[in-house]
Amino acid sequence: MSDSIRQLQPLGVWRFFDDICQIPRSSKKEEKIKAYLLDFGTKYNLETLEDEVGNILIRKNATKGYEHYPWLVMQSHMDMVCEKNSDVEHNFDTDPISTRIEDGWVKAVGTTLGADDGIGVATQLAILAANDIDHGPIECLFTVDEESGLSGAFGLKSSFLKSELLLNLDSEDEGELFIGCAGGIDTNVAFDLEWEDVSDHRSWYRIDVNGLRGGHSGDDIQKGYGNANKVINRILYKGAEKFDLRLALFDGGNLRNAIAREAFAEFCLPKGNVGDFEKMISQMTKDIKVELNVTEPNLNIELRELKNGRKVFRLDLQNRLLNALYACPHGVIAWSQDIPNFVETSTNLAAVKTLNNQILITTSQRSSSETAKCDVMNMVASVFKLAGAKINHSDGYPGWKPNPKSKIMEVSSLSYEKLFKKKPKVLAVHAGLECGLIGKTYPKMDMVSYGPTIKGAHSPDERIEIKTVQMFWDLTLDILKTVK
C-alpha cells in the first residue's frame, strides 16, 4: 500500500483510492473489484445489487432532515485502461498499481494510474462509508467495461435505478461542468495475411517508434500529438518506394480509445541499399522531430539490425496495407460550428497488429453529430475497402444532447460558484461518456458530469492533481446538500 497517498486530503477518498489501486480491474476482468464492492455493501449494511451484466448498485437512505430530497444517483465505472511503457514489467491481471507523489500530482510508476475512473469510485465509497455527510436518498452506480465496450451502460435496465438526477463522476478538468458528449463507433479492419520468401541477399532490421505522449483519443485528439502508427508507416512507405523494403511484421498501438504511443516493425531490404536506407532514416528522423518538436519532445526513432530473417508479406498485400494506412485519416475532422474551439468530429488510428495470419487494424470515430459520426465512419471504411480489406463496425453508442435548462447543472453551477467564488465553465466534451447510453434508457434522467483534473488519461503519463480532488469532494458534498 502507498502510505504517502493515504495521508492526503480528503482522507476517505484517498484511502479508498489506494485500496482500489491494489485491485486488478482491467476491462472485462472486473471480478475482483466487483467482489470488493459487494463486500463493502455488506460491511456497511447497505442495500447492494448486481444486475445481469455485472453493474453494482449500492443505496443509502437519507440523513435525518433530508428525507424529502429526491433520489440522486452518483455514477462511475470500475474498470481502467491498462497501458504501460514497454520497458516496464507489470501484469495488470495480478499486480497492484504503484503510486507516487510528485509536484502536487499523484502518478503511477510506468503504467496508467486508473484515476480514470478510480477517483470517482473512491469518492462514492467515501460518501457511502461516512456518517457525517448530509444528503438525501442516494444510489451509487458502478458500471463495468466502460473503457473497452460500454457494455455496462449498454446493459443497464430501466428498472434498476430509482433516481432521476445523476452525477457522473468521470470528467477530467476541474472547473468544468459537462452537459453533453460525443457519440462514437469503431471501425475494425482485417487483411488476410499472404506470405512469400525472399532471397538471402538481404539485411534484416527492426524499427521502433516510441517516446510519444499517447493520450485519450477524445480529450487529447486536438492537441497535435504524434501517432506512432502514422509515423512508422510513413517511414516504411518511403523505404518500400525507394529501397525495395519488404515488410514482415507491423505492431503499433493497443487500445481503441488511446492515441498510439509506440510501434515497431520488422523488414528486410537488399544489402546494396542498406547505406542509402540508413541515410534516409537519419534524415526522416530529423524531419519528423522538427515537425513534432513542440508536442512530442521525447519522440525516439531507433533502427537496429536483426540476425534472423523470415517470410515477408506478399508484395501486393504490403502495398495495399501501407497505402491504406497512409491514406487513413487520423485526428480532428471537423470543429463545432456552435461551440468555439470544440471538436465536433474526429477519428483515431488506434492499433495495427500482425496476429493469427491477419493484420488487424482498430480505428475509432467520435462526433457530437450522429450524421457526421456515420460520415467519418464511412470515410475510414472506404479507404480500407479500396485496399481489399474486410470491414466491420461496432454497435456504437449515442451522444448526450446538452440540456441548457438542466436542474442538476444549475445546482452544480451555483454550488461551484458559492464554494470557489468563480463561475464554472459549462461545456460539452468530445470524449464519450456513459451519460449518452444512460439517457437513452432513462430519458427523464437529468445529468451533469464533472471531476478533478486528470492529465494523460489512457497513457502511462496519467496523473491526478491533488488539490483538485479536495475541490471535487467539496463540490460533490455541497451538491448533495443543496439539491432539492
Q: List Cα–Cα distances, 127 to 58, 146, 434, in angstroms.
A: 11, 22, 21
Together in a domain, 91 and 21: yes
Look at 155 and 1; give whichever has higher pLDDT.
155
Together in a domain, 461 and 379: no
Question: Which range marks the domain in which residue 197 is found?
Answer: 185-393
Can you give the CATH number for the domain in which 20 is found?
3.40.630.10
Q: State what percent of residues in the chain have pLDDT above 90.
A: 89
| pLDDT of amino acid 356 | 87
Which candidate in 30, 79, 220, 446 is catalytic? 79
| pLDDT of amino acid 200 | 84
- Sheet with 47-50, strands from edge to edge, namely 47-50, 56-60, 138-143, 72-77, 165-168, 446-449, 176-181, 425-429
Q: Look at residue 1 and tell me whether its pLDDT is greater than 90.
A: no
Q: List Cα–Cα distances, 135 to 46, 66, 69, 444, 482, in angstroms.
A: 15, 6, 8, 22, 8
| pLDDT of amino acid 106 | 98
Mean pLDDT, the chain, integer: 95
Active site residue 134: no
Strand partners, 366: 184, 346
Which of 347, 371, 393 finishes a domain?
Answer: 393
The mean pLDDT value for 319-336 works out to 97
Can you give the CATH number for the domain in which 329 is found?
3.30.70.360
Query: CB–CB of 252/272 below 8 Å?
Result: no
418-431 confidence digits (pLDDT tens): 999 999 999 888 98
Together in a domain, 145 and 134: yes
- Among the listed residues 4, 8, 10, the one whose alpha carbon sits nearest the alpha carbon of residue 472: 10
Residues 128, 56: Cα–Cα separation, whole Å? 14
Q: Predicted confidence band at 3 (pLDDT cuts at 50, 70, 90)?
A: low
Q: List Cα–Cα distances, 200 to 72, 74, 410, in angstroms.
A: 70, 63, 71
Together in a domain, 50 and 193: no
Which of 353, 377, 393 finishes a domain?
Answer: 393
352-364 confidence digits (pLDDT tens): 999 989 999 999 9
Together in a domain, 405 and 382: no
| pLDDT of amino acid 403 | 86
Active site residue 146: yes
Domains identified in the chain, total number:
2
The dihedral over CA atoms of 479, 152, 131, 176, expressed in degrees to the nearest 10, equals -30
Together in a domain, 217 and 312: yes
Q: Look at residue 195 and tell me whether its pLDDT is greater than 80.
A: yes
Residues 81, 261: Cα–Cα separation, whole Å? 14
Query: CB–CB of 106/97 below 8 Å?
Result: no
- Please work out, in degrees rounded to the nearest 5, the angle formed at the alpha carbon of residue 374 by the alpha carbons of 368 and 379: 115
Together in a domain, 297 and 428: no
Together in a domain, 163 and 191: no
Together in a domain, 117 and 26: yes
Residues 20, 464: Cα–Cα separation, whole Å? 15
Query: CB–CB of 177/447 below 8 Å?
Result: no
Together in a domain, 116 and 75: yes
Q: Look at residue 12 and tell me whether its pLDDT is greater than 80.
A: yes
Residue type, 197: D
Query: CB–CB of 118/54 below 8 Å?
Result: no
| pLDDT of amino acid 395 | 87
The mean pLDDT value for 284-301 works out to 97
| pLDDT of amino acid 205 | 96
Look at 234 and 256; give whichever has higher pLDDT.
234
Query: CB–CB of 231/209 below 8 Å?
Result: yes
Together in a domain, 148 and 273: no
Which candidate in 83, 145, 146, 220 is catalytic? 146
Q: What does the chain come to in residues?
A: 484
| pLDDT of amino acid 469 | 98
Together in a domain, 139 and 193: no
355-408 confidence digits (pLDDT tens): 989 999 999 999 989 999 999 999 999 999 999 999 999 988 888 988 888 999
| pLDDT of amino acid 341 | 87
92-140 confidence digits (pLDDT tens): 999 999 999 999 999 999 999 999 999 999 999 999 999 999 999 999 9
Q: Look at residue 255 and tell me whether its pLDDT is greater than 90.
A: no
Residue type, 362: T
The mean pLDDT value for 307-331 works out to 95
Which of 326, 361, 393 finishes a domain?
Answer: 393
199-219 confidence digits (pLDDT tens): 889 999 999 999 999 999 998
| pLDDT of amino acid 316 | 98
The mean pLDDT value for 325-332 works out to 98
The mean pLDDT value for 14-43 works out to 97
Give Rg (Cα) of the chain.
24
| pLDDT of amino acid 2 | 57
The three cell numbers locating residue 319: 502495398
